[in-house]
Structure 1
Amino acid sequence: MTITKALSELKLLEKRANKLIDETTFVTFTVGGEPPRDARSAAEFNDRVRARRQSVTDLLRRRSAIKAAVVASNARTTVDIAGQTYTVAAAIERKASVAFEQRLIARLRSDLARVQREVELHNERAGERLDQQAQALLGKEGSRGAEYEALHRSFMDRNAARLLDPLDAQADMDRLSDQVEAFLAEVDQALSVSNALTVIDVP
């Protein structure tokens, strides 16, 4: 059967097994010679419970056989997604764990934006202090000449905030965002095609 059919049967088997388990009373009691509730006799109850228990076992055994065949196939079948080759298992895992990459992107974005605002605010305040010092030292007339430029360089060397960005967060974020978006845009289609074409043998 194809992987698509296998996945469909797995869902059906799980649904039937859960229903059978939930709707079966496996243990009851009798009083005197009276039959148990929901049965005409103790023998009928016993037979029904054994039959249903066997049915659950058969369903779960079939589910395990299909699941094992799907897992083995996923480990060896490859798909190409956004220019990279993955096993189906690796593609499924990346799809499940892409939230971590999205969390990292969000953190890079928020850190960069926050620190850029802090640097800008700090430097605005430093500039205001510089203007006050320049007026005090040079007077209004001297606040734009060569002396001011020398004072400005000296003051800002000591007081300016500078972004410390060892990863180049914007470039890192852009690169990672492109990778995640390209992967998510193609992964479902690639897996669907692979599942429709890949055939497995279930014992």
Structure 2
Amino acid sequence: MATGPNYKVARRRRREGKTNYHKRYKMVRSKGIRAVVRKTNRYIIIQFVYPTPIGDYTLTSAHSIELVKLFGWKGGTKNTPAAYLTGLLAGLRAKKLGILRAIPDIGLHRPVKGSKVFAALKGIIDAGVEIPCSQDMFPSEERIRGKTIAEYAEQLANTSPEVFSRQFSAILRGGFDPRNMEKHFDEVKNKIIEIYSKIPESNEAIAIIKELIGG
């Protein structure tokens, strides 16, 4: 461990691997709304956040468990299709509040091409919110729709049923066959879009957000 008169202990959240203060400083200085994407071992969480001197304001958010509770999603809450759908849901909510662009904030997650955080950002962009991000970083359409999961499940079911049952135990317990992932993804995606196409924009909320960010 470093010692000496010039040694400075890192901030707690940096030591815990939660905050990159250099990146955060630049984002706060930009005064732009951030699309914050975080993933845990079980869920995908997305927030649209605006920084102020007294703290961050969360303007709207989406959690992958909402896919299950509100839209009947049965395909898991932490995989690539769930990340995309959570991003789509968050993006549609943001648009209803008049948020048309945001800065991507993936925190301390490594910017790995095709990862879940970029699937979530793709969902936000497809909802109509402008996010500066290279198209090359997004997962393929096959991965987003769950085709690779369905094909892998089919292969396991044919060659090793015991591994299939163990690998997809959580999904199977919910009464869903992962081999139907693509069709189910399309159904839930269309349901989210249909529902939010019928929800009017909140003029009052838009006015509040514009006042907050000085727009």
* TM-score, length-scaled by structure 1: 0.27
* Larger fraction in strand: 2
Bigger relative contact order (CA 8 A; separation at least 6): 1
**TM-score, normalisation: structure 2:** 0.26
